């Protein structure tokens, strides 16, 4: 991505998004939309809505922060002035909360019938668990996604990637983009009900299909891609670090065996225990990086398992510019990539209320109105902004 391209509008240029601050899936979705060129404003509560014990939430980057006390009697008037000219509103409250605040779908559609009102929850807007609390591990547990992750001894979550970000954020973004596309034909907005349980279940489509046809055992480490097959697993090396092996196809498996100087019948399950032991013993004879160099240039599908500190410096990651270096670490760049309208470079993480004055001024509020609302506690101004 050249500097010239970075200055061009992103593919979502001209789309205005209001993000009611939440944690996890909704801010990540809003960040993606912002870095794809949308004009996103994060509406935060005066005290912030970030994760506990997180001094700086990277998900809040790349968009201005307006702090409004949504419980204040005048708050809806302020928000509705933004809604009037918005294309999308994102909220992640429990069902019924937005309605009680007077900013639910009916309220907002009365102001702007073309608004895409996007709702992000764990359980969805209805159902017996709709108002219950939960987290990624909770939603993954009830969809079967957690059951297939981990080892024979116990299920293990893949951080909070399954339900929060894959099942939540990504499906929220897909829903928003689909609703915007449909609006271009109908002229009407609609509600997008994105639930993490729905998304996490959808991610399991292939495995549920395989299970229905009897080719996926309903147990961990008993299948082709869950660690059951020795040629799709991780192995400890001489230095205690790991390599990942993913040689499913016979031609790739053949290159793996050549590199390890071993002979096995790939799909003879009876030989898998002996194959796994041979792989363990062989990989333990060299360091992780020695094995990476050994298999470099082959299709054996052997890769070093890199840490968060190591991954950004890998030659492929560096060549593509997958990560952006910061003073104290790295951050991933926007994805996917576009030939004519590349996304924006990641912007700074904004503090609560840092952009209140400028956002309100752009929405047509006068300096006197902004100061009055600040005095009354309707909005919060971070004076250092």
pLDDT digits (tens, 9 = 90+) for 33-88: 999 999 999 999 997 765 554 545 889 999 999 999 999 999 999 999 999 999 99
| Residues 191, 160, 64, 343, CA torsion sign | negative
Confidence (pLDDT) at 57 = 84
**Alpha-carbon dihedral angle through residues 62, 64, 70, 76, given to the nearest 10 degrees:** -120
Spans of the chain below 50 pLDDT: 1-6, 53, 55, 385
User: Active site residue: 136, 164, 193, 198, which one?
Assistant: 164
Give the Cα separation of 47 and 269 in Å (integer).
Answer: 57
Known active-site residue 316: no
| Residue 328: per-residue pLDDT | 85
**Cα gap 168→194, rounded to integer Å:** 7
Closest CA to 222 of 283, 269, 264, 268: 269
CB 341 within 8 A of CB 10: yes
pTM above 0.85, yes or no: yes
pLDDT of residue 4: 38
Catalytic, 164? Answer yes
Q: What pLDDT was estimated at residue 221? A: 95
pLDDT for 51 equals: 54
Give start and end residues of each alpha helix (H) in the chain.
3-6, 25-35, 75-83, 97-101, 105-111, 136-143, 170-186, 196-203, 205-212, 250-260, 272-283, 288-294, 315-320, 356-362, 367-376
Three-state DSSP at 65 gives strand
Strand partners for 4:
none
What local confidence, expressed as pLDDT, does residue 8 receive? 66
- Catalytic residue of the set 57, 72, 107, 135: 135
Across-strand partners of 323? 332
Token code pair at residue 138: 């909770």
- State the Cα–Cα distance between residues 383 and 84, nearest whole angstrom: 27
Q: What residues form DSSP beta bridges with 155?
A: 150
R_g over Cα of the chain: 25
Please give the Cα distance from 9 to 114 (Å, whole number): 23
Distance CA 91, CA 137 (A): 21
Mapped onto helix, strand or coil, the DSSP state of residue 230 is coil
Which position has the token pair 């895409």? 116
Gap between the Cα atoms of 157 and 139, Å rounded = 11
Q: What torsion do the CA atoms of 364, 368, 370, 371 make, to the nearest 10 degrees?
A: 170
């Amino acid at each position: 991505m050249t500097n010239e391209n970075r200055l061009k509008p992103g593919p979502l240029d001209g789309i205005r998004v209001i993000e009611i601050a939440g944690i996890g899936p909704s801010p990540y979705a809003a960040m993606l939309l912002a870095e794809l060129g949308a004009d996103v404003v994060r509406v935060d509560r005066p005290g912030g809505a970030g994760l506990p014990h997180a001094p700086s939430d990277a998900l809040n980057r790349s968009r201005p922060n307006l702090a409004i006390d949504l419980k204040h009697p005048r708050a809806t008037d302020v928000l509705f002035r933004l809604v009037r000219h918005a294309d999308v509103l994102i909220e992640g409250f429990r069902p019924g909360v937005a309605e009680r605040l007077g900013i639910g779908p009916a309220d907002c559609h009365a102001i702007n019938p073309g608004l895409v009102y996007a709702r992000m929850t764990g359980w969805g807007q209805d159902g017996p668990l709709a108002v219950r609390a939960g987290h990624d591990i909770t939603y993954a547990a009830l969809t079967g996604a957690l059951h297939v992750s981990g080892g024979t001894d116990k299920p293990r979550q893949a951080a909070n990637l399954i339900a929060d970000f894959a099942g939540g954020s990504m499906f929220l973004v897909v829903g928003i983009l689909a609703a915007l596309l449909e609006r271009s034909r109908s002229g009407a907005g609609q509600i997008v009900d994105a639930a993490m349980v729905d998304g996490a279940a959808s991610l399991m489509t292939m495995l549920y299909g395989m299970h229905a046809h009897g080719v996926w055992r309903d147990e961990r480490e008993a299948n082709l891609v869950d660690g059951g097959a020795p040629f799709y697993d991780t192995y400890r090396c001489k230095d205690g670090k790991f390599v990942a092996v993913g040689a499913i196809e016979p031609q790739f498996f053949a290159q793996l065996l050549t590199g390890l100087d071993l002979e096995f019948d790939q799909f003879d399950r009876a030989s898998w225990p002996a194959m796994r032991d041979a792989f363990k013993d062989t990989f333990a004879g060299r360091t992780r990086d020695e094995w990476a160099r050994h298999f470099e240039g082959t299709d054996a599908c052997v890769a070093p398992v890199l840490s968060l500190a190591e991954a950004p410096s890998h030659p492929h990651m560096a060549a593509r510019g997958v990560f952006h270096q910061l003073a104290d670490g790295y951050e991933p760049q926007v994805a996917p990539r576009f030939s004519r309208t590349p996304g924006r470079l990641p912007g700074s993480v904004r503090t609560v209320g840092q952009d209140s004055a400028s956002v309100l001024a752009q929405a047509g509020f006068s300096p006197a109105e902004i100061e009055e609302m600040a005095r009354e506690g309707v909005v919060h101004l971070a004076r250092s902004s």
